[in-house]
Structure 1
Amino acid sequence: MSRRTFVGGVIASAATATAMQTCGASPAEATSPKSSPGWIDAHVHVWTPDTDKYPISPDFSKSDMLPKSFTDEQLFSHCRPAGVERVVLIQMSFYQYDHSYMLDVMKANPGVFSGVALIDHHRPDLVQQMKSLAQKGMRGFRLHSRGDAKDWVDDPGMQKLWRTAADEGLAVCPLINPDDIQYVDALCKRFPKTTVVVDHFARIGVSGKIEQDSLDQLCRLARFPNTHVKTSAFYALGKKQPPYVDLIPMIKQVTEHFGPERLMWASDCPFQVEDGHTYEASIALIRDRIDFLSASDKQWLLKGTAEKVFFA
């Protein structure tokens, strides 16, 4: 997924101390992932230009891979200086249901990464596949809305996915447009025990304007206690210009409804570090520029919520 497709909606060592050092913590700080003080980025994509070892889906071509590469080492060059020690990797659409590259990155950096997979909810062995991916470190499953979210509510496979996620303690992570919030609402109502993480404010603001009706609808999801929102992808929302302070009213309203314990910051790299945008500008909006967030609130947004959902 590139910045263009976001707006369009188309598409180490085994020791924990070494793992923490990989993402920037000193040995003295690297006690365990759960007790380390570093932040968590809840949404990053990685891929490699080595399409011989890691083939991409036939639905994509190499020309779709923009930037051409965003490996774990490239990520670390951005997240280390910002004090981010752990990251939730989101399966890149280029690879569709082949998670080989993401899983290899996770294995190479133990304790650093959690994962969110893509899965075909129509496959007959859906439950077994979900359990298998969970055993490999996947803590959630991403849903892509391509104008078909209205069909999710009554789809037997989608219902099985939501039910299994609840049974197995896994998250459902919808990438939706504002018009799709109503369908996620219906599924949350049907499966209230399922942990849900809505990506990127449900893309409210991609038009350049924060649509108040859509924002109110998103905030209505707060009545489901297992539903969360990623405060993320600032480069693509509102004025789309750092320092992104025009997004503060939206963040405030979402915080007032969900509370900081159900919000998590994420960069959406590599797209956050293209076209004049920077990693530091993204994290700084939450860390430095919002006066209504207490120190405790920021701990939840920058670490605690993602830790609870994706690293527990």
Structure 2
Amino acid sequence: MSGSHLSRRQFQLATVAGVLGCCSPVSSAEKHKGFIDAHVHVWTPDIKSYPLDQAFDVGDMQPTSFTPEELFRHTKPSGVDRIVLIQMSFYNFDNRYMLDMMAKFPGVFGGVGIVDHQAADVAKQMKKLASAGVKGFRLHSRGGSAAQWPSDAGMKTVWKTAADENLAVCPLINPEELPHVDSLCKQFPKTKVVIDHFARVGISGQVEAEQLKTLCSLSRHQHTHVKTSAFYALGKKQPPYTDLEPMIKTVVDAYGADRLMWASDCPYQVQGDHTYEASIALIRDHCQFLSAEQKSAILRGTAEKLFF
């Protein structure tokens, strides 16, 4: 019986070791072993604290609320424990809600903000947001504005600042606007670029070969990445989205899995017949041409490098 008991000295040593073990810092890799969703929007119905931009009203908020707590109901059952928040258009250049949610859930959220590239102090704005944890900046192409990007002084400042500060630019564009991004990639070869939603190739209902070819041609720029995302809006627009597998394979062949990242584009992915699980399952469970290592890169590794 005596052999089953610790001596007083052994007990003291074991207690100290246990305390030290409990207090030892946990690395990010140990804390976060789940998947990363590289593209999600959140907003709050509290428009008094977080007013909408003048271009939007409450009727534009569909659903009326999509807070982090509502988001987690979808992400956690699918094994997603980190998420990249994309500044919502409702708030335009007012990034406060996104920043507040990043602060409320430290380590869970990365951030992609929006700045006015025509502002005289745009570089200062970018650096200030970066100090709060923002790792990228979204570029909207509204009304054909992308055609002016390669010659716009403010846009050039955005791309140069991003390169200097190790930040990413994240264009939300249509297929016909890819050449404008290509031009900027040539001007700023060190800038990290993350193209949202396959540049919307396939949004017409079918994947156009020439559009896909143009998207893949940007892979020659070594810092250009693509989000394999928004499956609900591309191709047949029906789960399980396996009709998109040939496009995904073509993009993997061009870029390599280490320059691709999966994203849901919530809350739009969880409306109607579309579910969060169906989105992640396309990469995780289908796409048999992907190795385990490639799936790991797309579902976690690439986004981790850029946004965490």
Please say whether Structure 1 and Structure 2 have the same fold, judged by a TM-score greater than 0.5: yes
Could you tell me which residue of structure 2 aligns to residue 255 of structure 1? 252
What is the CA–CA distance in structure 1 between the aligned matches of 2:49 and 2:29, rounded to whole Å?
Answer: 33
Could you tell me which residue of structure 2 aligns to residue 205 of structure 1? 202
1:288 aligns with 2:285: yes
Could you tell me which residue of structure 1 aligns to residue 8 of structure 2? none
Alignment of 1:35-46 (within 5 A): 35=30, 36-46=32-42
Matching residue within 209, 214, 217 for 2:211: 214
1:73 aligns with 2:51: no
Tell me the TM-score normalised to structure 2 length.
0.91
Matching residue within 254, 271, 274 for 2:271: 274
What is the CA–CA distance in structure 2 between the aligned matches of 1:278 and 1:208, rounded to whole Å?
Answer: 19
Could you tell me which residue of structure 2 aligns to residue 297 of structure 1? 294
Alignment of 1:58-207 (within 5 A): 58-146=54-142, 147-207=144-204
Task: Give the SS at the match of 1:43.
Answer: strand
Task: Give the SS at the match of 1:34.
Answer: helix
Deviation per CA, 1:230-263: give whole Å up to 9, x if none.
0000000000000000000000000000000000
Task: Give the SS at the match of 1:309.
Answer: helix
What percent of counterpart residues are identical? 61
What is the CA–CA distance in structure 2 between the aligned matches of 1:218 and 1:189, rounded to whole Å?
Answer: 15
Give the partner amino acid of 1:139: K
What is the CA–CA distance in structure 2 between the aligned matches of 1:161 and 1:307, rounded to whole Å?
Answer: 22
Could you tell me which residue of structure 2 aligns to residue 233 of structure 1? 230
Segments of 4+ moved more than 2 angstroms: 30-36
Instruction: Compute the displacement of 1:32 (Å).
Output: 3.2
Task: Give the SS at the match of 1:153.
Answer: helix
Matching residue within 229, 241, 244 for 2:241: 244
Give the partner amino acid of 1:97: F
What is the CA–CA distance in structure 1 between the aligned matches of 2:123 and 2:139, rounded to whole Å?
Answer: 16
Instruction: Compute the displacement of 1:148 (Å).
Output: 1.1
* Number of residue pairs aligned between Structure 1 and Structure 2: 283
Deviation per CA, 1:246-286: give whole Å up to 9, x if none.
00000000000000000000000000000110000000000
Deviation per CA, 1:68-125: give whole Å up to 9, x if none.
0100001100000000000000000000011111111111101100100011001011
Could you tell me which residue of structure 1 aligns to residue 4 of structure 2? none
What is the CA–CA distance in structure 1 between the aligned matches of 2:95 and 2:145, rounded to whole Å?
Answer: 24
Alignment of 1:47-62 (within 5 A): 47-62=43-58
What is the CA–CA distance in structure 2 between the aligned matches of 1:190 and 1:124, rounded to whole Å?
Answer: 21
Calculate the aligned-residue CA RMSD, in Å.
1.1
Deviation per CA, 1:8-66: give whole Å up to 9, x if none.
xxxxxxxxxxxxxxxxxxx9xx9433343210000000000110111010110000001
Q: For structure 1, which runs of at least 5 residues remain unmatched after alignment?
A: 1-26
